[in-house]
Amino acid sequence: MLWGTEESSSYGQADMTDADSDSSPSSSPSRDMALSPENPLFNKYEIGKLLGCGAFAKVYHGRDVSTGQSVAVKVIHKSRLKNKVNLMNNIVREISIMSRLSHRHVVKIFEVLATKRKIYIVMEYLKGGELFSRVSKGRFSEDLGREYFHQLISAVSFCHRRGVYHRDLKLENMLLDENGVLKVSDFGLSALKDQVRADGLLHTLCGTPAYVAPEILAKKGYDGAKVDVWMCGVILFVLTAGYLPFNDHNLMNMYRKIYKGEFRCPKWMSPDLRRFIARLLDTNPARRITIDEIKEDPWFKIGFSDTASEYLPAESQDDEKKSFESQDLNAFDIISFSHGLNLSAMFDETHSATEDVDRLTAEDSPEGVIRKVEAAASANDADLWVRRTKGYGVELEGQNSNFVASLEVFLLTDRLVVVEVKRISGDAEAFSDLWRDKIRPVLQVSGNH
């Protein structure tokens, strides 16, 4: 489907037909039982009323038994995802990305749990509902619209610096907490920097029709950051005008208007706001205003304080390059190394641990580990070729081509790394013997995962 899945739930994509849960441990669930306050999910979360449901998910209000904190629990039924590869990929992407984005204007994922039948995503509970519901009751004043736009740009700017492009920004994905603070949700269609092709552009057709950027319609590739800016422009227009800039009962007519940039600002908009929106909704992405230029615009700058950096992890404040393209690990990544919580295992009931994968921790730098692997391979009796790959990774190949394996190094702390090696093909015994006897011992192992 070209434009993704529309749904009434504000917490992203997925689905279920019933409302069950599990009371057994995640590692060996014995049966699924009805969700209820008397039957806590995994003995951790009391489940309350249904908040919303969409094509592939139901979202419930929950309460953390130990702290009393309110949470939102999205329930995904695996059976509904069979033969829906794109949808499964979207859900995995959403979980992975949102769990790594720590910002006051991005919905937070606390935990992901799974049983044989279902996946449970425990998220921040946002009592204020969708921003769409508020603006549907009437347009905002310029001051109020600017206040929410400040929060949106703060979140989008943070995501872009972390190498994430949302690609489906719309009012239905803007949630509010009990204090009216905006939170961006639903990263199921988002993309990472390393997904761009050789031309430096993204090519996947995605988004919501009324918000889609003209360059996506052109099908010639697009810049993810520029697309997000366009969608932000549509959101600002709706907040301050009370209706969509591009709208038509005929979808093709609406796309034509988008492609040509045919919209008209209402008379009550100030000249500065009209000029600003025109820069956001410029059909030429090369001319379209950038996030940095947005922050310097006279209309936008009123009352704006760029505090986004205070929500960056400390290690990222000095080095913006520590994005998802780097090999740094956070707590969610470490947990995901467990076969019981590996996301692929959550969706694939046939997945199981394999002896062809090994992980270890080492007190070294990523570059130091790679050099030691290269040194071990150069030994006369190693019978091994080593080729560096992207980031801190190498490909290992037996000199008689009897096996091929990959090795990656992930930075855990300043002095500790996780090394993961996987056999890709070939003789399992030859690979295992060489790894165990020739390479693993030289990496200063300090523990296994």
- Confidence grade of residue 37 (pLDDT, cut at 50, 70, 90): low
Top-confidence residue, 181 or 348:
181
Average pLDDT along the chain: 78
Query: What pLDDT, on a 0 to 100 scale, did the predictor assign at position 139?
Result: 94
- Confidence grade of residue 332 (pLDDT, cut at 50, 70, 90): very low
pLDDT at 56 over 70: yes
Q: What's the CA gap between 429 and 431, in Å, rounded?
A: 5
Q: Sheet of 109-114: strands edge to edge? A: 45-53, 58-64, 70-77, 118-124, 109-114
pLDDT at 343 over 80: no
Query: What pLDDT, on a 0 to 100 scale, did the predictor assign at position 358?
Result: 83
Mean pLDDT, to the nearest integer, of 182-208?
75
For the chain, the domains span: 20-124, 129-312, 354-448
Structure tokens of 87?
A: 């949808």
Structure tokens of 295?
A: 């922050």
Query: What pLDDT, on a 0 to 100 scale, did the predictor assign at position 307?
Result: 60
pLDDT at 340 over 60: no
**Nearby residues of 381 by Cβ (< 8 Å), 6 or more positions away:** 438
Percent of the chain with pLDDT over 70: 74
Query: What pLDDT, on a 0 to 100 scale, did the predictor assign at position 10?
Result: 52
Tell the CATH superfamily of the 129-312 domain: Transferase(Phosphotransferase) domain 1 (1.10.510.10)
CB 424 within 8 A of CB 405: yes
- Confidence grade of residue 38 (pLDDT, cut at 50, 70, 90): low
- Confidence grade of residue 169 (pLDDT, cut at 50, 70, 90): very high
Which class is domain 354-448? alpha beta
Asked if the domains at 20-124 and 354-448 fall in one CATH topology, the answer is no
Mean pLDDT, to the nearest integer, of 232-241?
97
pLDDT at 344 over 80: no
Residue-wise DSSP of 220-257: S-B-HHHHHHHHHHHHHHHHHHSS-SS--SSHHHHHHH
Mean pLDDT, to the nearest integer, of 121-143?
91
Q: What's the CA gap between 241 and 136, in Å, rounded?
A: 11
CB-based burial label for 20 (10 Å; 0-12, 13-18, 19+): buried
Query: What pLDDT, on a 0 to 100 scale, did the predictor assign at position 115?
Result: 80
Query: What pLDDT, on a 0 to 100 scale, did the predictor assign at position 13?
Result: 40
End-to-end CA distance of the chain: 39
Query: What pLDDT, on a 0 to 100 scale, did the predictor assign at position 428?
Result: 85
Q: Which of 215-224, 316-325, 423-432 has the lowest mean pLDDT?
A: 316-325
305-323: pLDDT as tens digits: 876 444 544 344 444 444 4
Query: What pLDDT, on a 0 to 100 scale, did the predictor assign at position 194?
Result: 61
Q: What's the CA gap between 242 and 397, in Å, rounded?
A: 61
Query: What pLDDT, on a 0 to 100 scale, did the predictor assign at position 350?
Result: 47
**Nearby residues of 201 by Cβ (< 8 Å), 6 or more positions away:** 221, 222, 223
Q: What's the CA gap between 167 and 195, in Å, rounded?
A: 13
pTM reported for the whole predicted model: 0.65
Short-list 275, 335, 295, CA closest to 158: 295
Query: What pLDDT, on a 0 to 100 scale, did the predictor assign at position 11?
Result: 53
249-290: pLDDT as tens digits: 988 899 999 999 999 999 999 999 999 999 999 999 999 999
Percent of the chain with pLDDT over 90: 35
Q: What's the CA gap between 9 and 94, in Å, rounded?
A: 15
Residue with tokens 């997925």: 14
* Number of Cβ atoms within 10 Å of the Cβ of 285: 18
Query: What pLDDT, on a 0 to 100 scale, did the predictor assign at position 239?
Result: 97
Helix axes 224-241, 271-280, angle to 10 degrees: 150
CB 184 within 8 A of CB 106: yes
Mean pLDDT, to the nearest integer, of 74-93?
75
Angle CA 28–32–34, to nearest 5: 145
Query: What pLDDT, on a 0 to 100 scale, did the predictor assign at position 327?
Result: 45
Beta-strand ranges (E) seen in 18-101 are 20-22, 32-34, 45-53, 58-64, 70-77
Q: What's the CA gap between 77 and 17, in Å, rounded?
A: 8
Query: What pLDDT, on a 0 to 100 scale, did the predictor assign at position 429?
Result: 86
The residues annotated as belonging to the active site are: 168
Which class is domain 20-124? alpha beta
pLDDT at 9 over 70: no
Beta bridge partners of 73: 60, 122
- Confidence grade of residue 111 (pLDDT, cut at 50, 70, 90): confident
